Chain A
Amino acid sequence: MIQAEGLKKRYGETVALAGIDLDVPAGAILGMLGPNGAGKTTAVRILTTLALPDGGHARVAGFDVVTEGPQVRRNIGVTAQDATLDEMLTGRQNLVMIGRLSGLHRAEARVRARDLLEQFDLADSGNRILKDYSGGMRRRLDLAAGLVTHPPVLFLDEPTTGLDPTSRVRMWGIIRELVADGVTLLLTTQYLDEADELADRIVVVDHGRVIAAGTAPELKTKIGGARLEVTLNAPDPAAAGALGPFVAGAIQVSHDGRRLRAPVRSGDGLATTIVRALDEAGITVDDVALHQPSLDDVFFALTGHPMSDRANDGEPEVESSGAEIEVALR
């Protein structure tokens, strides 16, 4: 349904896309994950005919985005990152206008607007001007606006950025319902948990390139097994040595020397073995945790910098803000 091959785009000196390949089969959800400025929005703009690629090809719903723009536009719904609704109109007027401009008759457009307002829990505020909408309401209306014509392909560019946690979870619920209806969806996000939560497949984008692709579990496997976190009763320099045989990578030791973190090789009875090894070394353990790597870990492993690092505009936020020292083991 969405296919792209070698999409390139530059704005002046800035390379927004350095050649991106995508393939989203019908009914699937692709999560495009990356920090600000990775090229996600540019990719969406090209696929929705809002921008022309400098190189490469893309087809959406079987139509070429460059040469068959009108046909593409008949098959897509778009929810852009910036509000693309009319601030001076009411929610209802916005939806009716979009329906009419998409070729619905007046009566059809009105019915559709009413249904969408109900579906998105906006029936009570349908006659209020958009200026008075909260962020969450606005996003829901923006999403509704993309659905006016029942498009089979949907693009959501960072649908929950800037929303409070409650609105975010609500938006996730709405998106899941849509997908249950068989819509093909491309979703961009900076939130790893969002991609993990919603997408069938994830592409990780950085500097205009796809740096990894796969399902969430596949990506997690790519950077090895589980993460270990041990809290000692008292700091003990011997602890790192005792953990050595299980660790695959670097051990991070917290400032007070009590907390140790490291990726570990999975194995049967791993937690038991680890506790036993520490015990044999005479080390008292307060807490042991083993968990699957998050997509944050994936991003760090793939790019060498944490995602939040760039999202916060270069403000380094490495693990516990530099309070920890890193001990490399081989």
Chain B
Amino acid sequence: MTAVVTRLTPAIAPSRSHRLVRQLSNVSVLTGRNLVHIAREPLQLSDVTIQPVLFTALFVYVFGAGVVLPHGGTYASFAIAGMLALNLTTSAMGTAVGLSNDLNGGIIDRFRSLPMWRPAVLVGRSLTDLLTAVMCAFFVCMTGLLVGWRPEGSVESTIAGFAIFLFFSYSLSWGCACLGIVSKGPESAQGVGLVVLFPLAVVSNALVPTAHMPAVLRVVADWNPVSAVTAACRQLFANPNPSAAMHSWPMQHPIVTSLMWSIGMLAVFAPLATHLLVRRTRG
């Protein structure tokens, strides 16, 4: 190469703003973009709107007719924390599907050719899904109130109960982000997501008390993070919580356990997802 190349002043002068400000701006732009998508096709929100209403009503009236709680209380007051668990866990799949859509479309090449902070794609996606999770929790809560559920604890602890669930759902969505990145397409992301998340939600104390499960299943259920979050929530809502009688450590300390799970998953999956994204989007 013989020609002398003059270095150009970049066409876009490095912005005066701090790096963090630019990163946050990237994130907010991409979150906004995802929200426009939702506004254009509101039906894609059915898993956080129609589904929670439907599941909550179905479970309370169908399961509720047959489940007798060991320490008394109505199934409705027991079930709402479980409905949060079921709906928020399965809707985390949306992260995998949404991300997979982005990565398999042409748009990712556009993003990659821009001088932007690439993990913003992930953070924007996770924030969008946090917002839809809030919506999901709202619909469960409203349906719950209609079918007779009442939080019996203080306002603060009720809010804390929802917060614990949303935190868990946020961390879980980073795990689903990893799945979305490694999957071949949105369909396979959805398929694999369902296989992982559905048992996670069901083999737990979310829908029925664990006491009468077969021994192996009971151990699995008692150590399942979804059980910890559900038990923590029941405790904070002051709803019937049969798991408090279980002798496993997580069921005795559900709040600490669920926070540990959420922090742990976030600490593992967020860097992993970033790494996988960088790897996938390299030549």
Question: Closest CB-CB distance, B238 to chain A, in whole Å?
Answer: 44
Interface of B (DSSP majority class): loop
Distance, CA A70 to CA B116, complexed state (A): 8
Distance in Å from the Cβ of A18 to the closest Cβ of chain B?
Answer: 16
A residues in contact with B114, CB < 8 Å:
73, 98, 101-102
List 9 additional contacts besides A84-B107, A85-B106; criterion CB under 8 Å. A25-B3, A50-B109, A74-B115, A84-B113, A86-B107, A88-B40, A102-B114, A102-B116, A150-B11
Give A220 to B116 CA distance when docked, in angstroms: 44
Q: Are A59's CB and B12's CB within 8 A?
A: no
Q: What string of 1s and 0s marks CB contacts (under 8 Å) between A138-150 and chain B?
A: 0000000100011
On whether the beta carbons of A100 and B29 are closer than 8 Å, the reply is yes
Contact residues on B (Cβ < 8 Å of other chain), bracket: 35 or more
With the chains together, A70 CA to B12 CA distance in Å?
11
How many Å from the CB of B72 to the closest CB on chain A? 50
Q: Once the chains bind, are A75 and B106 in contact (CB under 8 Å)? A: no
Chain B residues within CB distance 8 Å of chain A: 1, 3, 5-8, 10-12, 14-15, 22, 25-26, 29-30, 33, 36-37, 40-41, 105-107, 109-116, 120, 282-283
Chain A residues closer than 8 Å to B36, beta-carbon distance: 88-89, 93
- Kindly identify which residue among B33, B110, B112, B283 contacts A145, using a CB–CB cutoff of 8 Å: B110
Instruction: List, sorted by A's number, 24 A–B pairs whose CB atoms are closer than 8 Å.
Output: A1-B5, A9-B283, A45-B283, A50-B112, A51-B283, A62-B5, A73-B115, A74-B14, A75-B8, A84-B110, A84-B113, A85-B110, A88-B40, A88-B41, A89-B36, A97-B33, A100-B29, A101-B111, A102-B114, A103-B12, A103-B14, A103-B15, A103-B116, A151-B11
Q: Residues on A close to B: CB < 8 A?
A: 1, 3, 5, 9, 23, 25, 45-46, 48-53, 57, 59, 61-63, 70-71, 73-76, 78, 80, 82-89, 93, 97-98, 100-104, 129, 145, 149-152
Query: How many angstroms between the C-alpha atoms of A76 and B114 in the bound complex?
Result: 9
Residues of the B chain whose Cβ atoms lie less than 8 Å from the Cβ of A104: 12
- Please give me the residue from chain A that is nearest to B41 by CB atom: A88
Residues of A within 8 A of B113 (CB): 48-50, 73, 76, 78, 84
Distance from A153 Cβ to chain B, minimum over Cβ atoms (Å): 9
Query: Which 6 interchain pairs have the tightest Cβ spacing?
Result: A52-B283, A51-B283, A84-B110, A74-B10, A84-B106, A62-B7
Q: Which of B11, B26, B282 contacts A52 (CB 8 A)?
A: B282
Known: A71-B10, A74-B10, A86-B107. A101 touches B29 (CB 8 A): yes
Residues of B contacting A73 in the complex (Cβ-Cβ under 8 angstroms): 113-115
Greatest chain A CB density within 10 A among B11, B105, B107 is at B11
| Chain A neighbourhood of B110, CB < 8 A | 78, 80, 84-85, 98, 145
Assembly CA distance A75 to B41 (angstroms): 36
- B1 cross-chain contacts in A, Cβ below 8 A: 3, 5, 23, 57, 59
Who on chain A is nearest to B38 by CB? A88
Residues of B within 8 A of A48 (CB): 113
Which chain B residue has the least Cβ–Cβ distance from A150?
Answer: B11
Bound Cα distance from A59 to B12, whole angstroms: 18
Q: How far is the CB of B118 from chain A (nearest CB, A)?
A: 10
Q: How far is B111's CA from A1's CA once the two chains are assembled, in angstroms?
A: 23
Give complex CA distance A104, B282 in Å. 25
A93 contacts across to B, CB distance below 8 A:
33, 36
Q: Which residues of B contact A74 (CB under 8 A)?
A: 10-12, 14, 115
Number of A-B contacts (CB under 8 A): 108
B83 to chain A, nearest CB (A): 31
- B25–A100 touching, CB < 8 Å: yes
CB distance from B62 to the nearest CB of A (A): 37
Residues from chain A with Cβ under 8 Å of B282 in the complex: 51-52
List residues of chain B with CB within 8 A of the CB of A89. 33, 36
In whole Å, how far is A3's beta carbon from the nearest beta carbon of chain B?
5
Task: Say yes or no: A61-B8 contact (C-beta < 8 A), given A78-B113, A88-B40, A103-B22.
Answer: yes
Known: A85-B110, A150-B11. A101 touches B26 (CB 8 A): yes
With the chains together, A87 CA to B37 CA distance in Å? 9
Which B residues touch A102, using CB under 8 A? 12, 114-116
CA distance in complex: A57, B1 (Å): 10
Q: How many Å lie between the Cα of A88 and that of B112 in the bound state?
A: 19
Q: Give the nearest-CB partner of A86 in chain B.
A: B107
Q: Are B12 and A149 in contact (CB-based, < 8 A)? A: yes
What is the CB-to-nearest-CB distance from A301 to chain B, in angstroms, rounded to a whole number? 29
A210 to chain B, nearest CB (A): 15
The answer, among B3, B7, B106, for a CB contact under 8 Å with A82, is B106
Cβ-closest chain A residue relative to B4: A62
Q: How long is the Cα–Cα vector from A302 to B29 in the complex, in angstroms?
A: 49
Complexed CA–CA distance, A145 and B112 (Å) = 13
Residues B6 and A62 in contact, CB atoms below 8 Å apart: yes
Which residues of chain B come closer than 8 Å to A83, judged between CB atoms? 106
List of B residues within 8 angstroms of A49 by Cβ: 112-113
- Complex Cα gap A171–B17 (Å): 37
A101–B11 touching, CB < 8 Å: no
Whether B283 pairs with A46 at a CB distance below 8 angstroms is yes
Task: Report the nearest B residue to A46, measured CB to CB.
Answer: B283
Bound Cα distance from A49 to B14, whole angstroms: 19
A264 to B113, CA, bound (A): 48
